[in-house]
């Protein structure tokens, strides 16, 4: 048994963790790919208990409440070819979050976060592929693992929010229900990276998306498959 604490800086909604960052903290505890499910918003500045269970499973609890759970799994994902870095810059100009954003202080995609504080990944639609979004990302020094490379949990965070914007263009309330991230290699601090998100499917309140991070040479460095869920009660979900 161990513990983890999500610092306030790494919020998604103002009172809970960014889902991709939380997933990355959990996934980094295993040497194999984990399917991580978020069962309730992970609280900030709270000591959470991490339980290592048989068969490679993990549970994260806030007292008796189950916050998240993970199990070994395979990542089934076909990653499209990346756009050019310049095309990603152009796509980011069409970022829907500049017009309306439910969580404008989100660590990953919040436009109210300053450079060097938030990751500022603003994924907008590519003109020729409306279900594909892209953004430039230059990791800042605060994300450094200590060797000039980005910490794994920040790679996972980068693989979160672009998936939402690939399946939702109308500011609909959705929460990350499940993320299966895989980091092929860590990108470097200061590197001109491209992040891409694309819609896989939608079925009622459930939406699936893929995301990927490419380095400055266009090489695939990280990928993830996400399940986004529209809550039955928006007021409860945003509390």
Closest CA to 126 of 170, 84, 164, 88: 88
Does the residue 78 lie in any domain? no
- Do 97 and 61 lie in a common domain? no
Looking at 27, 47, 72, the residue that finishes a domain is 72
Residue 224 lies inside a defined structural domain of this protein: yes
Whether residues 44 and 120 fall in one domain: no
Quick check: is 104 in a domain?
yes
What's the alpha-carbon Rg for the chain, to the nearest Å? 16
pLDDT at residue 234, as a whole number = 52
CA distance to 92, 163, 182, 195, 221, per residue, from 179 (Å): 23, 10, 10, 16, 17
Q: How many CB atoms lie within 10 A of CB 199?
A: 19
Domain count across the chain: 2
In a domain, 36, yes or no: yes
Check whether 114 has a pLDDT greater than 90. Answer: yes
Count the residues in the chain: 239
CATH code where residue 25 lies: 3.10.129.10
Domain endpoint, select from 42, 72, 102: 72
Residue 31, both tokens: 């040497």
Residue 79 lies in a domain: no
Domain boundaries, position 57: 2-72
Residue recorded with tokens 């916050």? 67
Residues 219 and 101 in one domain: yes
Region 215-225: mean pLDDT is: 98
- Are residues 212 and 107 located together in one domain of the fold? yes
Judge whether 215 lies within some domain. yes
Q: What percent of the chain has pLDDT over 70?
A: 96
Q: What is the pTM of this model?
A: 0.94
Is the pLDDT at 233 greater than 80? The verdict is no
- Final residue before a domain boundary, out of 26, 47, 72: 72
List pLDDT tens digits, range 44-78: 999 999 999 999 999 999 999 999 999 999 999 99
Each residue's pLDDT tens digit, 123-137: 999 987 668 999 999
């Amino acid at each position: 048994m161990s513990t983890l604490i999500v610092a306030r800086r790494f919020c998604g909604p103002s009172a809970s963790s960014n889902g991709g960052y939380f997933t990355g903290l959990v996934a980094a505890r295993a040497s194999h790919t984990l399917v991580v499910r978020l069962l309730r918003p992970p609280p900030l500045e709270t000591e959470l208990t991490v339980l290592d269970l048989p068969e490679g499973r993990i549970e994260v609890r806030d007292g008796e409440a189950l916050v998240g759970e993970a199990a070994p799994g395979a990542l089934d994902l076909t990653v499209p070819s990346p756009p050019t870095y310049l095309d990603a810059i152009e796509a980011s100009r069409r970022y829907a979050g500049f017009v309306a954003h439910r969580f404008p202080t989100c660590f990953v995609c919040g436009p109210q976060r300053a450079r060097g504080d938030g990751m500022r990944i603003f994924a907008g639609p590519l003109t020729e592929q409306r279900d594909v979004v892209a953004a430039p990302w230059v990791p800042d020094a605060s994300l450094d693992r200590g060797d000039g490379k980005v910490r794994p949990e920040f790679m996972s965070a980068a693989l979160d929010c672009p998936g939402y914007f690939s399946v939702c263009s109308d500011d609909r309330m959705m929460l990350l229900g499940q993320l299966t991230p895989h980091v092929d290699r860590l990108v470097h601090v200061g590197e001109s990276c491209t992040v891409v998100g694309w819609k896989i499917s939608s079925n009622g309140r459930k939406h699936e998306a893929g995301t990927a991070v490419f380095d400055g040479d266009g090489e695939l460095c990280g990928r993830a498959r996400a399940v986004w869920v529209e809550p039955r009660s928006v007021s409860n979900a945003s509390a």
